[in-house]
Structure 1
Amino acid sequence: MIALPSIAFGGFSGSAKGVTARQVGGRSILSLKCFPTGVATSAQVARRASMSKITKSWKTLTEAQMLGWDHLAEHTSGQSVFGQAAQISGLNLYIRLNVSRTMAGESILHDAPEQLVCLPNVVYDKLWVTTKNIVIKGITHEAGYKLVIKMSAGQSAGVSNAWSKTVILSPGMEDDWGDADMTYLYFKTIGVKPAVGEKVFLEMYWLDPETGFTGQTTYDSKVCETEAEAEAEGYVKRNKITMADLKPESHVSECDVDFSTGAPVISFDTVCLGHSNVASSEAYLEDELPSDCIGTSMALARGMGEGNAGLAAQSYIIWLRNSSWDGTSITFAHRGGYYVKPTEVFGPGILY
């Protein structure tokens, strides 16, 4: 985009051969049509389709709804250009907020929010990037908001600015006890983990899913190091088991087992499918459990079947063990209440 200094272009607007001239805030602006340099990813295609759908839905609004968006836009500024905050239209604000909402899994908002929403900055302790784990530690939780995280692939350590290469890893997640473990999402989105010595760039901000407003973006970068180097600097990995850690033959459809750091507290959120004629489910792990994650616990459960009996309250005993005979596994064994398949085992427990 170029601001034309010559008065010869004053008042000129229109398009010709990929060049568009327009008037913005009393200035003449020339812009060239951009063409993608690579093949669009499935996420990019979905995002563009969503934006197109939102743009078309503007025409379905009533006049009163459009006026509401126009009024709110009068109190909202766009991205600063040449030191001046740009004014945006009601349509632009409608698209901006609804793109954020749909990204977080919400429906299109037709009525403009009653007022602007000021979101806090993301407060956190440190970004850790190792060859095995990518974790944002010590996030100050903000109730009602979701965290949007963007990261880049590994860059040369000498690169000082590569935030333009970041992609969305999480369109709206909640921190997990103050941590955001991005390891799985990073590998799933980027396709390869960073190597030692490469620098990873981070952007993150809070999103209000109700209105679509977002907070100020926080920027950070970190050079990838080994696990040993990170631990020497004070990094403490919190043990956690998810579906990504299980073998396909496991008898669970969802699994989130979270171990507290420094205390024998464990949290369960697992859907047990049962197997054969035994009132229990096995989750087979790919790797061995650390010694401080071995033991027994109890947890509550509720059925996920149909009818009143399908929601029966239950109790489960859980055994976590490493075995030289059948490998590492977690057994969810039914102990009380009417047995239902499937069943959700949830809540905290004490590991003993």
Structure 2
Amino acid sequence: MRGFEELRYIWPALVIFIMLVTILLMMLPYHVFQNEAIDYTQKIYSGICETSVENLATTLSKGYFQWHGMYYAVVSGDEAFIDEMLQEVRQEFPAVRSARLIDRPPEIPVMNTHKLSTVNQELYLYFNIFDNNKEKEIPDKVALVSIDKDALLSEMHLAERITFSPDGSKGFTYGLRTEIRGYDLMKWMVVHSLIAGIIGVLLMMEVLTLGLSGYYEMHGLQEIMYLWETGDPYTGFHSKNVAIIAGLVGKRLGLSRKKIRELVNGATLHDIGKVGISSKILRKHGPLDEIEMEVIRNHPTYGKDILEHFKYLKKFISTLICITKEKTVPAIHMD
């Protein structure tokens, strides 16, 4: 890339400015992305947490509280068996903080398998106690299970992203409040932005270099043609006039602006090959001999050879040949 070569000639402050602007533009979406990621986390993980709680409640109800053993232990007052079962619940399910039998609160209806309640940002499950077939129910007692929210998050592998807090800024399932951490992308965004800034500077330099190189090569040769023709009183401004005519023809043919511009530039350079012809031949007073005539006829070839040395002017060779191949030999200057 020629932009690498030209970079050392550019004002350092300009390079730094462009890089900083690129980095800033790359960093702007970061805050929006984080907010979107947090909102997405809140929505998706709330559903996951709710599903996990419901699965836990269903498992406990069917495994321990819809069972002949527990039902008849409560009916007979077998405290040892009841304590053993509740202890097993606490050991087998890490998300259960505590489990005990209590008198039925008025708000807990009969016949429902379980009910979830949130008190002071804590989750509680109330279980009605049935026999195996749910035909019989303990009327005055229910099992109260306290859920360890943090353990539940750990089970779902969400503890690193979500923290339960009474003063949390984000709502969660069952009316709980949480703080949700966004993705730790700052380092990645900084590195990504720096790389984008460097690439942006290099691409800008490449485009600038290509444009300037093409411009100066084109206009440099045009200036040479102008100076050369200015020194020739017989053909002064000839190439400029041919370029004007070529532009008018291009418009008449309905060519695009780009094609017309290329046609005009090519016409301006159509006699560039004369630069390599001796002024003794070009300004000779009197007829040209055969050798001199052949030199004049070959000036398109000389022009082609000149343009081939310039990367951005090669595209004008076809225009040069097209314009000059039908031209007759220029009028011979006579005294």
TM-score interval, normalised by the smaller of the two chains:
under 0.3
TM-score normalised per structure 1: 0.18
TM-score normalised per structure 2: 0.19
Indicate the structure with greater helix content.
Answer: 2
Indicate the structure with greater strand content.
Answer: 1
Radius of gyration: which is bigger? 2
